[in-house]
Structure 1
């Protein structure tokens, strides 16, 4: 978590951030020059604003060393490039959160490390699926369809679920699933050991690799070569199987891989 000293520094720097973000013109100018330098005509064409307005914004950005004029073109300084790159990340994070705000707002995020929450923009292409009163198994069935098409699965499993284990065992037996890596708590591991079928088909299976961690797991993450899925717990501590976040692009899968690495460190 952010410490007290860091919070003070953030508060002090907020005025500078506010200066950029509260001005549509200053923000748009930085974004317009992010990929390459541009002259006044190009900026006027991009932003659809009069020259006087654009020149005023350019002067303001020059004064705080975020852009510079080189001959007839304007370009970002190194500081300007760094700030704009992080501004883009902030915008993408906001978009990713807002797109699936019901999913994020309904759940406990304690199982996701702070560093991974800061990379939530990687899930901007993901969408959440929810079960309904007419189809209570919609989220679960969507999950089963996903894992049934994957030859390799990596799973962080926070609960002991016979339903999930039976589906995984069937995929392993049918040789549809060639490799399975599980991260579970010691509590879940002990319960698997007590079930002879699960012990044989999971713990003694050469296709399966299991890692145990001491602390309670609070995320249900699954990913394969072509997808990732995430389910979470309600804020009251109960597991929610009615909503699932699914991403199928490389950024979403990369986010899942990074989250798994965080858990492997434990």
Structure 2
């Protein structure tokens, strides 16, 4: 989480951030010039505001070294580019959260590393699937269909689920699934060992790599070259199999595989 020094720095800079974000004009000017420099006429056309209002905002931003005027063009300074980039990221993170607010609000998020919570904008195009009273297995069935079309899987599995293991083993036996990398807890590993069928199909299978982590993670993450999926636990500690996020964009897959590698690297250490 954020350390004390960082929190102190955030509080110190709060006034500067507030100065930008509490002004619609200052915010819009920075975002408008994010991709390219603009002259006054172009700014007037995009912002639909009179010249006097725009010039006043430009002067304020010049005074704090966020923009500069080169001939008749207004452009962001280096500081302005960094600020604009992070403003866009903040907006995209907010959009991503809003698109799937029900999913995020209802679940335990502490096992998602902070750096990935900061990059929620990568998930803005994910699909939210929820089981219903008329179809209690909707989320699970969508998940099984996804893994059935994948040749390689990387999975963080926080639960011992015979249903999941049976489907995965079936894919391995049919050679549809050619490689599986599985991060599980010691408790789940011991449960697999007690099941002779699972032990043979998973622990003694050359196509399967088992990584044992010494903590009970509360996220069920699956990654392949085609998709990433995420299911989580309720805040009371119970696993929720009724809601799933599925991402097929490059950004979503990058986010998912990043989390897998994060926990994989902890094991390697």
TM-score (norm. length: structure 2): 0.96
Q: Residue 233 of structure 2 aligns to a residue in which SS? A: strand
Question: Tell me, which stretches of 5 or more residues in structure 1 are unaligned?
Answer: none
Partner of 1:89: 89
Partner of 2:76: 76
Partner of 1:247: 247
Deviation at 1:173, TM superposition (A): 1.1
**Mapping of residues 65-214 of structure 1, within 5 Å:** 65-214=65-214
User: Aligned equivalents of 2:232 and 2:128: distance in 1?
Assistant: 12
Measured against aligned partners, the alpha-carbon deviations of 1:31-50 in whole angstroms (never above 9, x if no partner) come to 11111111111112222222
Partner of 2:37: 37
User: Aligned equivalents of 2:41 and 2:147: distance in 1?
Assistant: 52
Partner of 2:257: 257
Deviation at 1:247, TM superposition (A): 0.8
Deviation at 1:190, TM superposition (A): 1.1
Deviation at 1:3, TM superposition (A): 2.4
Partner of 2:222: 222
Instruction: Name whichever of 45-54 and 165-174 sits farther off.
Output: 45-54
Q: Residue 229 of structure 2 aligns to a residue in which SS? A: strand
Deviation at 1:175, TM superposition (A): 1.3
User: Aligned equivalents of 2:203 and 2:43: distance in 1?
Assistant: 62
Q: Which stretches of structure 1, 4 residues or longer, exceed 2 Å deviation after superposition?
A: 3-6
Q: How many residue pairs end up in the alignment?
A: 266
User: Aligned equivalents of 2:66 and 2:127: distance in 1?
Assistant: 36
User: Aligned equivalents of 2:15 and 2:99: distance in 1?
Assistant: 28
Measured against aligned partners, the alpha-carbon deviations of 1:120-150 in whole angstroms (never above 9, x if no partner) come to 1111111211111111111101111111111
Deviation at 1:174, TM superposition (A): 1.2
Deviation at 1:109, TM superposition (A): 0.5
Partner of 2:5: 5
**Mapping of residues 20-31 of structure 1, within 5 Å:** 20-31=20-31
Partner of 1:17: 17
RMSD: 1.0
Q: Residue 79 of structure 2 aligns to a residue in which SS? A: helix
Partner of 1:234: 234
Instruction: Name whichever of 60-69 and 186-195 sits farther off.
Output: 186-195
User: Aligned equivalents of 1:157 and 1:142: distance in 2?
Assistant: 17
User: Aligned equivalents of 2:24 and 2:246: distance in 1?
Assistant: 33
Q: Residue 210 of structure 2 aligns to a residue in which SS? A: strand
Partner of 2:51: 51
User: Aligned equivalents of 1:111 and 1:215: distance in 2?
Assistant: 10
